[in-house]
Amino acid sequence: MKIMKFFLAIGLLLIVAGGAGLWIAKNKTEKPTQEQTAQNKTAEYIQKSKEYKSLGEKLTNATLYAYRESKKDTTQNGLHLLADILKQQGFNVEQWDIVAPQATKRAIVVKVEDNSYKYLDPIDGVIAMYENAMIVGPYAARSFVSDGTDYRSIFMKLDEGSDVSFYEDFAHTIFAPPGYPLYINVAAPVLEEPLLFGTVDGKAEDVSKATGEWDLTRYFDYFGKKFDEHVMRRVYFTEAAKITFILTGDIDPSSITANIKPEIDGRKLVFKVPEDAALVLEDNKSTASKMENNFIPVDQIIIERL
C-alpha cells in the first residue's frame, strides 16, 4: 500500500511538473521579441497618425515619434524608423548627407507633390520651419540662414532634449540628393600681391577660417578624402593663377585626383591654372584607399598671378 501511494505521488509530481513546463514554454514562445514589440508600436502609431490632417502635423509628429523612440530604445535607428513610417504613409522619402565644416550628419528629406522639399532630423529631434508655420527643405533653410536669419528661428526643437547645435553653421553646409556628388564651386580673386590663407603652423583651422572669411568656403583645408561622400571642389580664378597648397604631412602623388597635374616640392603642391580654366579636386574612395588617415590637412594656401 505504501509503495502504491509512493508511485501515485511521483506520478502527480511529474504531471504537475510537466504542466508547468508546458505553461512556461508556451508563455515563453508567445512573448513578443523586442523587434516585434517595436513593430507593433510603430503600427499603432501609423494607425493613430491618420487623425492628423495637415502635412505639417503628419511630418512633425512622425519626426517626434521617431526621435523619442530611438532615445528610449538605442537599438532603434531614428532615421530608419522615420523613413519606414513615412513610406508606409505614401511619402517620397530620401536620406541626405549634410556636410558642415566641422561635422556631418544624415537627415530625412521628403519630396512632396509640388516638388518642394521638407527637412526632418529624427536624430536630434529637429525640423526646418519658416516663420514657425511651414516646414521647408534644406536649400530654403540654408538660404535663410545665409541671409542672416538666426538658425534657431529656422531649426525648431521638437522636444526638451532636442539639439540644434549642428545647425549653427548651416550657412556653410553642402548637400545633395542620394547618388549625386557634393559640388563646391568658388571664385577666387587674383590680386597684385600673393594672397595667403593661414600660417605655416602645422594646423588647418586657420586655413579653414581664412577661406571662409573670403567666401571661398571652409572646404579647402585638406587633401584626400575627409568626408564619406563623393565631393568635387572647383576653384575658378579671375585670371591665370598659381595656387600653392602647403600640407602638414607628405602625400602620395597617386592619391591626388585633379584635372591639373601639380608640381610637387616636398609638402608643397603647386597648381598652375590657365586663364578661363578651373582647378577641380575630386575626393573619392580610391583616394582614401591610398592614404593611411584618408586625408592630410592643409597648412597654408597661397594664390598669386601666374
**What confidence tens digit (pLDDT) does each residue in 90-124 have?**
999 999 989 887 777 889 999 998 889 999 999 99
Which residue type does 256 have? I
Strand partners, 182: 231
With a cut of 50, list the residues of the chain below it in pLDDT. Answer: 2, 6-8, 10, 12-17, 22-23, 288-291
- pLDDT tens for 68-82 read 999 988 778 999 999
Tell me the per-residue pLDDT of 265-278, one tens digit each, with 9 for 90 and over: 999 999 999 998 99
Mean pLDDT score across all residues of the chain:
85
DSSP secondary structure of 206-241:
HHHHHHHHTTS-S--SEEE--SSS-EEEEEEESSSE
Dihedrals phi, psi of 152, to nearest 5 degrees:
-75, -15
For the stretch 288-298, pLDDT in tens is 444 456 789 99
3-state helix, strand, coil in the chain (%, to 5): 35, 30, 35
